[in-house]
């Protein structure tokens, strides 16, 4: 018998959270693709719009949560489509900045907000009390995990 077979099963709540997370990610990517973007491209454009101006690549890497090579590929594709503009950093010639172009803003505006849309679909048929209860329970889970760090 393998050691995996002897391990106790994951708690049902953890299995459910992981399953919902996978489905939510897939739904967000599907929605973005229906509008000609990937989920990561949408995230890039949304972060640039929120920044309201040029953003340093290092800062962007951290805020999106991707490795530098992944960000480079993402930026290359966005630049090729005219969604972003790269420019030198004003204080450090080794660094670069990125900003949203009008074409990128238009593409973003034509795509539903992924988080809101996935959240709406995920809780379809829930009452407001059920949505509040779910959010509260998940917040408690997060608090427990943060406290255990």
Instruction: State the pLDDT confidence band at 8, using cuts at 50, 70 and 90.
Output: confident
Q: Which segments of 37-117 are extended strands (E)?
A: 55-56, 84-88, 96-100
Q: What is the DSSP letter of 93?
A: T
* 52 conformational bin, left if phi > 0, alpha if psi -120 to 50, beta if neither: left
7 phi and psi angles, rounded to 5 deg: -70, 145
The torsion angles phi and psi of 6, rounded to 5 degrees, stand at -85, -20
Give the percent of the chain with pLDDT over 90. Answer: 73
Q: What share of the chain is helix, strand, coil (3-state, %, to 5)?
A: 65, 10, 25
**pLDDT-based confidence at 53, cuts 50/70/90?**
confident
Query: What are the chain's domains?
Result: 12-115 (1.10.10.10)
With cut-offs at 50, 70 and 90, classify the pLDDT of residue 1: low
The dihedral built from the CA positions of residue 49, 50, 52 and 54, taken in this order, carries a sign that is negative
103-117 pLDDT per residue, tens: 999 999 999 999 999
pLDDT at 149: 84
Taking residues 32-44, report their average pLDDT: 95
d(CA 58, CA 146) in angstroms, rounded, equals 26
pTM for the predicted model, two decimal places:
0.83
Instruction: Specify the length of the chain in residues.
Output: 149
- Predicted confidence at residue 4, as pLDDT, reads 60
- CA-to-CA distance for 108 and 47, rounded, in angstroms? 11
The average pLDDT across 12-29 equals 95
Give pLDDT, residue 120: 96
Whether residue 20 contacts residue 122, with contact meaning beta carbons closer than 8 Å, is answered with yes
């Amino acid at each position: 018998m393998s050691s995996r077979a002897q391990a106790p099963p994951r708690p049902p709540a953890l299995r459910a959270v992981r399953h919902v997370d996978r489905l939510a990610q897939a739904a967000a990517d599907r929605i973005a693709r229906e509008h000609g973007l990937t989920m990561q491209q949408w995230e890039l454009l949304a972060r640039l719009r929120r920044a309201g101006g040029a953003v340093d690549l290092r800062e962007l890497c951290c805020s999106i949560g991707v490795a530098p090579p992944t960000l480079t590929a993402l930026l290359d594709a966005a630049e090729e489509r005219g969604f972003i503009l790269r420019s030198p950093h004003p204080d450090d010639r080794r660094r670069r900045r990125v900003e949203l172009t009008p074409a990128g803003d238009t593409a973003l505006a034509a795509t539903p907000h992924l988080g809101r849309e996935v959240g709406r679909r995920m809780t379809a048929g829930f009452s407001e009390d059920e949505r509040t209860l779910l959010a509260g329970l998940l917040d408690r889970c997060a608090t427990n995990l943060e406290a255990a760090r």
